[in-house]
Structure 1
């Protein structure tokens, strides 16, 4: 996003050569009015724009808890401005004129990180959905399996037959889409890193 049409055009042409889908905006209001804009992998943002400044837009996005990776590009930036932007979560602050290759490298890395984060978030959501599909007894069996308990011990602890444990365990493994116990450890180890889980 830049108020200079020539800068927007040149950035669009540079990035479209790399087969990136690019949307440009002359000001913050245009960006905020586009419902698809917040799904971008990276936001290139000028500091000084008509109306809302780039730093003010960053504040709005932070207030809305929108996790949009931002790279500031500015011909008018100074150190306090860059420090403020970085403290508010910007990934970088480049002065104009900037080296095109450095910008391309930065964008490629930022897009890769964003896509990896989205894939990881989807995996966490899938595991949470699978955990939510378990019955209370299947969850008891899962917890016992995660503690390394054998089926006979689980049956004794839960006061049920070995055959019943095997049935619950089979259904639990199927719902969790796990072929072996190691898969369960992998799913749940990653799941612990999701802060929304209690």
Structure 2
């Protein structure tokens, strides 16, 4: 899970220190903050991160932390909420706000660690998809206008004959362009080409 960070927001020093120690011991980059105000005053520039926040803290509470993060980095940083004052309506509301887990104190450190590993796994998958999409976009940009037309027709499921009629070229010529498209897009099958197109379109 290298490359991602975990930020812990809790006014309880013992909780902060134990979580940072646990995570760093597992090779995870971790930082702690004494409050929501402290966190936003020193908002990290890290591109990918998970946030663990308590709910009831002096000043800005955890719910406000979630709200502000949704405004600043919508969906970018998964949030796990820990609290000693849980109630069902609060949990439901926070989950609707995008919180990925809701853990009551006192909690089992392993339970939280597993939840965090899930969050970091999601981030890793997201980064991989974004990288794949960027690479595909670069390859797509290298297609000629005619190759691009053939590419679009292929991923729409059109046959060589249909493509030839639409573009006023022979099926043999379509085959030639098709081969060029597959090579340039690094696709070994039509299904792979469709997956590439879907990755680009998100």
Q: Structure 1 length as normaliser, TM-score?
A: 0.80
Query: Per residue, is there more strand in 1 or in 2?
Result: 2
Q: Which residue of 2 aligns with 1:102?
A: 111
Say whether residues 1:184 and 2:193 are aligned partners. yes
Counterpart Cα distance in 2 of 1:6 and 1:81: 25
Query: Do the aligned partners of residues 38 and 97 (structure 1) sit closer, same or farther apart at CA in structure 2, a change above 3 Å counting?
Result: farther
Counterpart Cα distance in 1 of 2:122 and 2:48: 14
Q: CA deviation at 1:29?
A: 3.1
Q: Which residue of 1 aligns with 2:17?
A: 9
Counterpart Cα distance in 1 of 2:74 and 2:198: 27
Structure 1 ranges of 4+ moved more than 6 A: none
Q: CA deviation at 1:9?
A: 0.5
Query: Do the aligned partners of residues 14 and 45 (structure 1) sit closer, same or farther apart at CA in structure 2, a change above 3 Å counting?
Result: same
Counterpart Cα distance in 2 of 1:18 and 1:87: 30
Counterpart Cα distance in 1 of 2:47 and 2:61: 17
| Equivalent position to 2:48, from 39, 50, 73 | 39
Paired positions, count: 191
The answer as to whether partners of 2:48 and 2:123 remain within 8 angstroms in 1 is no
What runs of 5+ residues in structure 2 fail to find an aligned partner? Answer: 1-8
Q: Which residue of 2 aligns with 1:149?
A: 159
| Equivalent position to 1:92, from 98, 101, 110 | 101
Q: CA deviation at 1:47?
A: 0.7
Q: Structure 2 length as normaliser, TM-score?
A: 0.78
